[in-house]
Structure 1
């Protein structure tokens, strides 16, 4: 009679001369099939096409996670050391290159993304300015735009076809205290720079050929006392820009004039429940790829405030506030719009959420250990 070994349900067919159990061929095939199925449930390095990049300010590194496109789960794959504290991240429009701000060193670093495993291959690092808070490519991918929190300025650096950042800035332009973000509009004709210090948003015309900025008239839009416009998201289809107010704990919608580039205030909604009386400051703001939902991180209340944008007008409506990790500085939505990942700066953990495609509600499905002081989070699909 066949003996049973240490694998329940698998029948072994006898012993070899050395006394070891031998599995019958058909059961050996069954075990191989089971193991193959388990392995296939998680994409191998060769199969993975989505990756999450997390900058760890407290460890001077960027950590790479492979993302399972089916269920949103993450597996830690590799890490890359930087010359100083890791800050903001962005990718080129074709997702071949990743750019990082090295905050404590005042530098900008360029990397090539390995499409097979997401690993970062260093290209070059350039000296740029004190505390680069935000980096973003223009729509062509030929210019890297940076906002500097401490120095109160913006720069534009050329990017060559191999992802290398130019050593010298194309343009360096003083703005005001605490410049916190910079991006061009979808037509690549205008750029906006919110400043938390003077409660203002600078607006520029952008020349995609030269990579240079020219101030619009008026050069800035004042948002009011104790607002602190910090970052913003642009609607992918409508002429609307959404800014989060760091001190004001709010989201504000602005109409964007396609011809002149000028911003006009439309509405403002709180990111906090009326019953909350504690301290709070907003951090990141994100919009889903289809433009239907927006989320703002509350640091203090430690939550993500959700909003639905009317598909025709972009007008906002609150859809709920979801608890997350402590001090959610950085979060990102995956390119499919199905998952949201939020990093807790104080907890060192990442909360993973599924986004309800019908109503925008968030449901937490996993928590991951990240490391010391996660600063920025970026999900990239390489295929």
Structure 2
């Protein structure tokens, strides 16, 4: 057994590209360094992870980003995650993201362009998919937008709403929570600029704004969010790369500081972390600088629970790098790295 009272991290990776599956690690409180304690490859290509509390302790969930997509639950009481039952099909292809919403597990299925809803038992185990909600539409990019590609699903603060980002349709879908069943009901869809290819979003800590990161154009779309009505209203765009940046870039993740002063963006191709300053209202984002990501092809960014360090999962260089954040500027400063082949995400207890 490991000391579960200390800080822990879990790293997802692509087993089809040489990854170890899900790596468990301890987190040094003083330096932020990650030290692996074990790994499991019981699930193929666990590219994204989520944690949730249960009556018997926290449970780790992972997608299997395969043609026949699945999810699995893991006990994390030991040195390595241990499966809680067999993987459960999600009824969609290529799930790239998942989130826990009450007593439901939600997945964004990139390949089939849908959102799946799966029930959770008291012990955290996953039941068969009870709903698969298909998206409709396309975008102008003939290579990437011939149909819908749901890339992320995020519960809004308060739990009443769920937002699903669709790269293929250049839109964000809003779902309402059904108070009777706990499932999802379609509520609305917000169109973004055609061809931008929205990938992920993050909420401002005040809950007043949403920042949508675009993959097909290196920009961030700022939206006002109305938690009373479930309304999402785009109000502006800002670049996440400096003028004249060389080569194509494919932004992957956006993270907002707990105090709402900054946000950070991972730029694949440019292999950088962009630092954007937010105004006091959260309505305007301005690119301040970019720093190297500590590897190649940063697929994911994550803050530690204290919000003092930023971690980048660099897929193609096979490592997770960590950075201390300068309080006055929001600039990440490289502090260390852990080898993690085909790393795709990192989360913390």
Q: TM above 0.5, one fold?
A: yes
Quote how far apart the aligned CAs of 1:209 are.
5.0
1:332 and 2:302 correspond: yes
Taking only aligned residues, the RMSD between alpha carbons, in angstroms, comes to: 1.9
Q: Which residue number corresponds to residue 142 of structure 2?
A: none
Preserved contact between residue 331 and residue 378 of structure 1 (Cα < 8 Å)? no
Q: Which residue number corresponds to residue 278 of structure 2?
A: 309
- Picking from 149, 152, 157, the partner of 1:181 is 152
Q: Which residue number corresponds to residue 150 of structure 1?
A: 111
Q: Which residue number corresponds to residue 217 of structure 2?
A: 248
- The whole-number CA distance in structure 2 between the counterparts of 1:56 and 1:312 is 37
Preserved contact between residue 48 and residue 68 of structure 1 (Cα < 8 Å)? no
SS in 1 for 2:151: coil
1:353 and 2:323 correspond: yes
In the TM superposition, what whole-angstrom CA distance separates every residue of 1:56-94 from its partner, at most 9, and x where no partner exists? Answer: 202351011110112111111110112322211111157
1:369 and 2:339 correspond: yes
Give 1 or 2 for the bigger CA radius of gyration.
1
Preserved contact between residue 204 and residue 282 of structure 2 (Cα < 8 Å)? no
1:259 and 2:221 correspond: no
Preserved contact between residue 244 and residue 251 of structure 1 (Cα < 8 Å)? yes
SS in 2 for 1:266: strand
TM-score (norm: length of structure 1): 0.81
In the alignment, structure 1 segments of 5+ residues that lack a partner are 1-43
- The whole-number CA distance in structure 1 between the counterparts of 2:256 and 2:307 is 9
TM-score (norm: length of structure 2): 0.89
- The whole-number CA distance in structure 1 between the counterparts of 2:298 and 2:224 is 28
- The whole-number CA distance in structure 2 between the counterparts of 1:113 and 1:360 is 32
Quote how far apart the aligned CAs of 1:235 are.
1.6
More divergent stretch after superposition (285-294 vs 169-178): 285-294
- Picking from 59, 69, 85, the partner of 1:106 is 69
Quote how far apart the aligned CAs of 1:318 are.
2.2
Preserved contact between residue 23 and residue 80 of structure 2 (Cα < 8 Å)? no
Quote how far apart the aligned CAs of 1:228 are.
0.5
- The whole-number CA distance in structure 1 between the counterparts of 2:155 and 2:259 is 18
What is the number of residues matched between the two proteins? Answer: 329
Superposed, which structure 2 residues align to 1:124-139 within 5 Å?
124=85, 125-128=87-90, 129-138=92-101
- Picking from 78, 83, 92, the partner of 2:52 is 92
SS in 1 for 2:152: coil
Superposed, which structure 2 residues align to 1:282-297 within 5 Å?
282-297=251-266
Superposed, which structure 2 residues align to 1:108-257 within 5 Å?
108-114=71-77, 119-124=80-85, 125-128=87-90, 129-138=92-101, 140=102, 142-166=103-127, 168-176=128-136, 177-207=148-178, 210-216=181-187, 219-257=188-226
Closer/same/farther in 2, CA of residues 103 and 169 from structure 1, 3 Å limit: same
Quote how far apart the aligned CAs of 1:48 are.
5.4
In the alignment, structure 2 segments of 5+ residues that lack a partner are 137-147
More divergent stretch after superposition (105-114 vs 62-71): 105-114
Quote how far apart the aligned CAs of 1:348 are.
0.6
Quote how far apart the aligned CAs of 1:364 are.
0.2
Preserved contact between residue 300 and residue 327 of structure 1 (Cα < 8 Å)? yes
Quote how far apart the aligned CAs of 1:118 are.
5.7
- The whole-number CA distance in structure 2 between the counterparts of 1:313 and 1:285 is 15
In the TM superposition, what whole-angstrom CA distance separates every residue of 1:113-166 from its partner, at most 9, and x where no partner exists? Answer: 22xx6632211221113211110011x3x1111110011111111112211111
Q: Which residue number corresponds to residue 144 of structure 2?
A: none
In the TM superposition, what whole-angstrom CA distance separates every residue of 1:242-273 from its partner, at most 9, and x where no partner exists? Answer: 11000111111111112210100122110111
SS in 2 for 1:359: coil
Closer/same/farther in 2, CA of residues 208 and 146 from structure 1, 3 Å limit: farther
- The whole-number CA distance in structure 1 between the counterparts of 2:95 and 2:348 is 21
